[in-house]
Amino acid sequence: MSILGDGGGISLPMGDDVQMVEVTLTITDAAAERLRAVLSEEVGDDLVLIISTLSGGCSGHLYDMQVAERPDDSGFQHLDVEGIPISVHNRDSWRLNGIEVNYLDTLMGGGFKIENPNADRGCGCGKSFG
Partner 1 sequence: MMEEANVSVIDRLVDSGLEQKEARVLVALAAADPLKASEIGRQVGITRMDAYNTLRRLQDRGLVMATIDKPMRFTALPISEVFQNFIFEEEAELRRLKAHLSELEAGVGSNTPPVGLPQGEPTFTVVKERTYIQAAMERLIQDSESHVWLLLGRWGIMHLVKTGALAAINEAGQRGVSVRVLATLDERTLKFYQELDDSIEVRHCDSFSLQGCIVDDEVAVQTLSLKSNPVGRGRDDAALVIEAAEFVSAQAELVAACWGNAASFAAARTRLEEGRIVEPLKVTLGGGSFYQRLKELVASNYHDQHPESIGWTNAILRRGDEVLSPEPTLPTFEALGIDTSEVFRSVGRRIGEEIAIELQDVTDDDEFWADLSQQWQELRMGELVVEGDPPTSIRVIDSGSCGGAPKLGGPFCHLDEGILEGIIQTRFGVSATAVERECTSTGDNHCHFDITFTQLDV
Q: Given the rule CB under 8 A, which residues bind partner 1?
A: 34-35, 38, 42, 54, 57, 62-68, 101, 104-115, 122-129
CB-CB contact of 63 with 51 (8 Å): yes
Question: How buried is residue 123: exposed, middle or buried, by Cβ count under 10 Å (0-12/13-18/19+)?
Answer: middle
Which has the closest alpha carbon to 88: 57, 64, 110?
Answer: 64
Residue (62 or 79) nearer to partner 1, CB:
62
DSSP state of 121: -
Residue (76 or 129) nearer to partner 1, CB:
129
DSSP H helices, the chain, are 29-41, 90-96
Q: CB 114 → partner 1: shortest distance, Å? A: 5
Q: CB 38 → partner 1: shortest distance, Å? A: 6
Residue (13 or 118) nearer to partner 1, CB:
118
Q: CB 5 → partner 1: shortest distance, Å? A: 42
